[in-house]
Structure 1
Amino acid sequence: MEEEFEFDFNEDAQHSVERYEEMIRNEDQYFFDAQAFEYIIDNYIEKNDPVKALQVVDYALSQHPFAAVFLIKQAQLLLFTNQVEKAFASLEKAEMLEPSEADIYVLRGNIFHSLDRHDEALENFEKALALAETTDEILLQIAYVYQNMHDYESAIVYIKRSLEQNMENKDGLYELAFCYDILDKQEESIQFYQEYIDSDPYSYAAWYNLANSYHKMDLFEKAIDAYDYAILIKENFASAYFNKGNALVQLDKFEEAINVYKQTFEYEPPNADTYCAIGECYEKLEQMGEARSYYKKSVKMDSKMADAWFGIGVTLNFEERYFESIHFYKKALELDDENADFWFAMADAHYKLGQIDESIEAYDKVLEFNPLDVEAWLDFSTVLYEQGKLLEASETMAEAIKNNPDAAELYYRMVAYLFALGQTNEAVAYLETALVTDPDKHYILFEYLPQLQNNGLIIDIINKYIR
């Protein structure tokens, strides 16, 4: 039998759910008003049970076949369960019943957006803009579409329009920072957030994004001040503490950074990134036992933290435990085998163990992944030179210069190798190029080959450039 059971709009939501579940248990049929059905559907959505929510929608439509709201709910749930075509069909029915309902076009826009059909997404969002009473979220959705189209300038326009309507929209503040970052427009970002803070000085998100922009411009003191304001407004803002710690590291204030990193643990559970950051600070302070302890905590929490595995290796290398360090460098490289820094450390450890072939192989990797690393080129050529491979050392230096034509130290090193090879004319030519590039670094030549200080030709050439 069918029991008529109507709810007024003030009916308790939980009571609606209980009555519906009672109906299911009794295999009966009750009547619910539209508001009660919305309560019930939302209850199952909140419980992450889209199947039951869809069943309720079907029942709601059987009682209220002309209520577009249930067709919109149906489309949302169908989309959630990857039934895209059915979701479109539900929205078409909803549009026929209530073409002025903005939610229809918002949802359709979201579906097109998820399918990378950007023009159709924008068309639907624009329709929604013309119909909706509040549009800040729709403007933000349009900005997301432009971001996916890599049109960050347009995205910024719509994010700003959204924020003009709702200054409390934290998502908009963070998305705007992202767009400015992609466009490398930190100065514009700073200007915007400063103006925003003038209007809303208690926006922790604005202070935080201002700080991040300062940080990216290497204005670390200003960044720290801005992070402090964000923390003052929101004491439990763990990300602000973490980024403040990063800024302190850039100023070589490692002990302060450690204290700030540890403060994050008061507001969120410890994580591998923070443990690793603390480990790096202790490493910089040459407190290798403490550093290793935190690096180990990091990898225990996340075995894929390549930087932490590498850090353990660095602490062992510092203690001249080269053989042990190689084990941890390998662990790091298993996770990130194109990291030039990891390969550089590996090359150095093999060299110190007298494993020259392995060292040379590792240097090849360093320079494959970072041909702009001047120190790596110099060290690699030194290894070759010490093995009596003078020609290979000079050829390596020629390749280094090709990749780093403004690095004077490479030219000076080439001079040394060419003199060692007896190629005096070529050496003089490189010496003059080195002196033109940076005459103040001529001492590098004598550090590598002290005997050249007694070479009258060399001294005469140098004197032409440093007087």
Structure 2
Amino acid sequence: MEYSSNDDFQDMSLTKFESMLKTNDVLFFDSSEFENIIHHYLENGKIALAKKAIKLGLQQHPTSINLSLFKIEIYILENKFDDANTLLDDLHNLEPNNEEIYIQKANVLSKQDMHQEAINALLIALDLSQAPDDDGDLYGLIGMEYLFLDQFENALIYFKKCLDVNLTDYSALHNVMYCFDFLDQNQEAIDFLNVYLDKNPYCEVAWHQLGRQYFAIKQYEKANASFDFAIISDDTFIGAYIEKGKVLEKLKKYTEAIENYKITLALDDPTSFALLRIGHCYEKLGEDDLAVQFFDRTVKEDPLLDKGWIAITKFYIKHQNYQKALYFINKAVNIDNDNVLYWKLYAQINQRLNFLEEAERGYKHALDLGNYELDTWLSRTDILINLGEYEASIFNLLQSLEFYPESAEIEYRLGGLYFKLLQTDKGHYHLKNGLRINADYDFIIEELFPCLLNKPMVKNIISTSKKSSN
């Protein structure tokens, strides 16, 4: 459906229509005026006014196919698919060769997750099209339906057809690249973009995408050159400066990377990503004061960005300033209590500070949130052992066995704990298990349960096992 591009004409029609609604006067509009009015309301999300315009439009122009098609759009928005299909059938009987009817039919089918049927309807619309040079939108709709079906090769075919119709359809270009990315076809994407750029050499979007593809296959010099061309094509293209900064970091050109990130700060409001990367670059250059300054700006700019809190916390851990690290990780935990990474750092810092109860609480939180890494189970166990919480240690280890049934580190600890609690049968069983899995890990007994090495039974189990393995 075509809509008038005359803004003054449309404004006059809208003013006249809204005046009519206020006064209850009945004024005449031609069908194209109604179409423009309805289109305006739908574009601006004013569904109630669009429905009024459709109703009045059909009262004045009951045979208008286009106005009926707008009614179908409303039915689709309201999930009234049966009503939409009934009206579509009526319209099809009136105009069986109207491509818009098939497009709306496809829309109904797509909303009901019948994507192959939607494609079939769109292909009919394509056959009925009277203007092949304007079929880009149809190709795009077919491409999107193939995306819904995860048929990326077919989607790629149709998004490419969009670009054949309209070289500057950058939405289609992004979809083409999305398909290439999903298919892990970096070289094919590069070949496609080079051909595309021969036809459209000043397209900053294509240069940017080409740089991303070279970056993905670690051809950093070519990626850098591509981002340079993107910037030449549009020197306000923030994404190109960001990507160029990332490439320069890979090339260890940290000062140049900082310059590019800082350009983005001048072009627009600071982004937490750029601030964070600048901080990391200064850290690589050994300029710690500037690094921590930008990490601090990062968390102030975006308190929900976990990478910012992790960066500033790890900075202080690296410099063994555990009190300062604890200060920042406490702030992070207060903002997002369900972040596993925060709780792991919280536990590790408290452990370094010998705040064992707090460290144990941190590891427990991490486990409760689904962090089932072996080191989390073991770290919590070792703290519980230090706290004399032997029963809790055993319970923790038995839970970890469900995830790591053949872990020598777990078995040695269980063996030692059961001997500690004088449950010698269980101690014997788990210690032998540990020795069977990996005899070299017997140092765990010496480190965590040194007093057990004086017990004849424990010494005998270890020595017998080592002799038999030799």
Name the TM-score class by shorter chain.
Answer: 0.7 to 0.9
Q: Taking structure 2 as the reference length, what is the TM-score of the superposition?
A: 0.72
**Structure 2 residue 87 is the aligned partner of structure 1 residue 73:** no
**Structure 2 residue 291 is the aligned partner of structure 1 residue 291:** yes
- Indicate the RMSD between aligned Cα atoms, in angstroms: 4.1
- In structure 2, the gaps of 5 or more residues are 388-396, 398-406, 414-437, 448-452, 454-458
What are the superposed Cα offsets for residues 6-59 of structure 1, whole Å, 9 maximum, x if unpaired? x9x999222222222333333222222112222222333344312112111111
Q: How far apart are the structure 2 equivalents of 1:346 and 1:102?
A: 62
Q: Residue 397 of structure 1 contacts residue 414 of structure 1 at CA under 8 Å; is this kept in 2?
A: no
Q: Residue 119 of structure 2 aligns with which residue?
A: 122
Partner of 1:150, secondary structure, is coil
Q: Taking structure 1 as the reference length, what is the TM-score of the superposition?
A: 0.73
**Structure 2 residue 404 is the aligned partner of structure 1 residue 395:** no
Q: How far apart are the structure 2 equivalents of 1:210 and 1:266?
A: 25
Rate the CA distance shift 1:229–1:369 in 2: closer, same or farther, 3 A: farther
Q: Residue 180 of structure 2 aligns with which residue?
A: 180
Q: Residue 352 of structure 2 aligns with which residue?
A: 352
Rate the CA distance shift 1:279–1:107 in 2: closer, same or farther, 3 A: farther
Q: Residue 214 of structure 2 contacts residue 223 of structure 2 at CA under 8 Å; is this kept in 1?
A: yes
Match of 2:103 among 102, 106, 119: 106
> Comparing 277-286 with 134-143, which one deviates more in the overlay?
277-286
Q: How many residues align?
A: 408
Partner of 1:30, secondary structure, is coil
Rate the CA distance shift 1:121–1:427 in 2: closer, same or farther, 3 A: farther
Q: Residue 164 of structure 1 aligns with which residue?
A: 164
What displacement does 1:292 show?
Answer: 3.6
Q: How does 1:266-277 map to 2 (within 5 A)?
A: 266-277=266-277
Match of 1:50 among 42, 47, 54: 47
**Structure 2 residue 150 is the aligned partner of structure 1 residue 143:** no
Q: Residue 205 of structure 2 aligns with which residue?
A: 205
Q: Residue 315 of structure 1 aligns with which residue?
A: 315
Q: Residue 38 of structure 1 aligns with which residue?
A: 35
Amino acid in structure 1 at the alignment position of 2:28: F
Amino acid in structure 2 at the alignment position of 1:254: Y
What are the superposed Cα offsets for residues 380-425 of structure 1, whole Å, 9 maximum, x if unpaired? 99999999xxxx99626999xxxxxxxxxxx999698799999799
Q: Residue 326 of structure 1 aligns with which residue?
A: 326
**Structure 2 residue 10 is the aligned partner of structure 1 residue 28:** no
Q: Residue 381 of structure 1 contacts residue 397 of structure 1 at CA under 8 Å; is this kept in 2?
A: no
Q: Residue 88 of structure 2 aligns with which residue?
A: 91
What displacement does 1:64 show?
Answer: 0.9
Q: How does 1:417-428 map to 2 (within 5 A)?
A: none
Q: How far apart are the structure 2 equivalents of 1:372 and 1:150?
A: 36
Rate the CA distance shift 1:26–1:209 in 2: closer, same or farther, 3 A: same
Q: How far apart are the structure 2 equivalents of 1:332 and 1:247?
A: 30
Q: How far apart are the structure 1 equivalents of 2:78 and 2:465?
A: 72
What displacement does 1:61 show?
Answer: 0.8
What are the superposed Cα offsets for residues 308-339 of structure 1, whole Å, 9 maximum, x if unpaired? 12223223334433133234335546648565
What displacement does 1:85 show?
Answer: 4.2
Q: How far apart are the structure 2 equivalents of 1:265 and 1:89?
A: 55
Rate the CA distance shift 1:412–1:360 in 2: closer, same or farther, 3 A: farther
Q: How far apart are the structure 2 equivalents of 1:149 and 1:360?
A: 47
Amino acid in structure 2 at the alignment position of 1:70: L
Q: How far apart are the structure 1 equivalents of 2:214 and 2:123?
A: 35
Q: How far apart are the structure 1 equivalents of 2:83 and 2:181?
A: 39
